[in-house]
Amino acid sequence: MNIPHWASLRTMGNSPIVKFTIVIPVIGYLILFNEMVLPYLQLARTIFDPEGTWAASAVSPRLMSIYFGLWWVALASILYQLNCPKIVKQFASSTDYVAASQEHIGAHTLKSIEEYIKKQSQIYADHVREIHSRAAQLYKADDVRASVARDVLDLQFVVENRRAPYMRAAITALYGVGAVFLSIPSIDVLLRVLKLMVLSI
**Tens-level pLDDT at each residue, the chain (201 residues):** 689 999 999 999 998 888 888 777 666 666 555 544 445 445 445 434 445 544 445 556 777 788 888 889 999 999 999 999 999 999 999 999 999 998 889 889 999 999 999 999 999 999 999 999 998 888 788 888 889 999 999 999 999 999 999 999 999 999 999 999 989 888 877 888 888 788 777
d(CA 63, CA 42): 12
Which stretches within 57-201 are classed as H helix? 61-83, 86-90, 94-101, 107-120, 122-135, 141-161, 165-200
Contact 168, 6 (CB under 8 A): yes
pLDDT at residue 187 in the model: 86
What is the DSSP code (8-state) at residue 24?
H
What is the DSSP code (8-state) at residue 36?
T
d(CA 155, CA 113): 10
d(CA 80, CA 198): 44
Contact 45, 60 (CB under 8 A): yes
Looking at this protein, which amino acid is placed at residue 128? V
Alpha carbon of residue 169 to chain centroid: 11
What is the DSSP code (8-state) at residue 1?
-
pLDDT at residue 55 in the model: 47
d(CA 71, CA 179): 11
* Contact residues for 175 (Cβ-Cβ < 8 A; gap 6+): 9, 12, 72, 73, 76
Give pTM, 2 decimals.
0.77
pLDDT at residue 50 in the model: 47
